[in-house]
Amino acid sequence: MSKIFHEDEYKIFDKLIQNRKNNHLGPLGWVQVYLSRSDLINKTPSFEGHNLVVARGREFVAQKSFNLNTFDGGIRADWRSHTITHFAVGSGGATVNNDIVDLNGPFICDTGLYEPISLGNASYLEEPSTYSSGDGIHEYTDAVKPITTDGEVILELDNYTGGTTSCDYYTKVKCTCVVADGEPSALNPGSSVEISEAGLYFVNGTDAQMFSHICFAPKWTEKSSELIIIWYILF
């Protein structure tokens, strides 16, 4: 996969920069969902929109930035050794009644997906939700997948010139997250599963914590197809 940023991707970061100027606190994110590789090539996402960096994600950034997990009167769970390396998808992001779609979130206090989908690979991690449907598909186990298993994470250059100096810096991140052909493994050939939410996670070992969450109108993916999520983060 090419590691060159395209003009429209720069426009996404320009939009995030403008949102920051409009008093939206960072880090900021933008998500595009593609139902096939050809849709990705043709730049025709089935959905795109802002994600929400949840409370734990914001606290993770604060701990990493200042190497600190104490506060006046106590100590917080220590996430300083975690890194953002994984993603997951779920089916609880929206409710549809008479063709009217109501999003179920996301919210600042979210700590996991509403209905995580098990992708069926024992090397994947447990999603921090407590949801369990018992059908072998919508489960929190084997749900949190390394981004780089079938996708990639890259940094992109930004620069500034002002006064008498200039500098280069790398605060634009692009994550390509892929639900691959054969996932979820519990699906029967030809059957499909609803996907209406996704999350990024900061991870240390087997401990996965939600960094950001997004909900969208339901998309349907089959076992024999790919679903691709392009997740842009501006720090």
Residue 5 lies in a domain: no
C-alpha 163/C-alpha 185 separation (Å) is 57
Q: What is the separation, in whole angstroms, between the first and last Cα of the chain?
A: 24
Q: How many domains is the chain built from?
A: 1
What is the pLDDT at residue 10?
Answer: 67
**Residues 154, 6 contacting (CB under 8 angstroms):** no
The conformation of residue 147, written as its DSSP 8-state character, comes to G
- Ranges of the chain whose pLDDT falls below 50: 1-2
The conformation of residue 149, written as its DSSP 8-state character, comes to G
Residue 17 lies in a domain: no
What is the pLDDT at residue 16?
Answer: 63
C-alpha 137/C-alpha 192 separation (Å) is 11
pTM of the predicted structure, to 2 decimals = 0.89
* Domain enclosing residue 76, as ranges: 43-234
Q: What is the DSSP string of 51-91?
A: -EE-HHHHHHHHHHHHT--EETTEE----TT-EEEEEEEES
Residue 32 lies in a domain: no
Residue 230 lies in a domain: yes
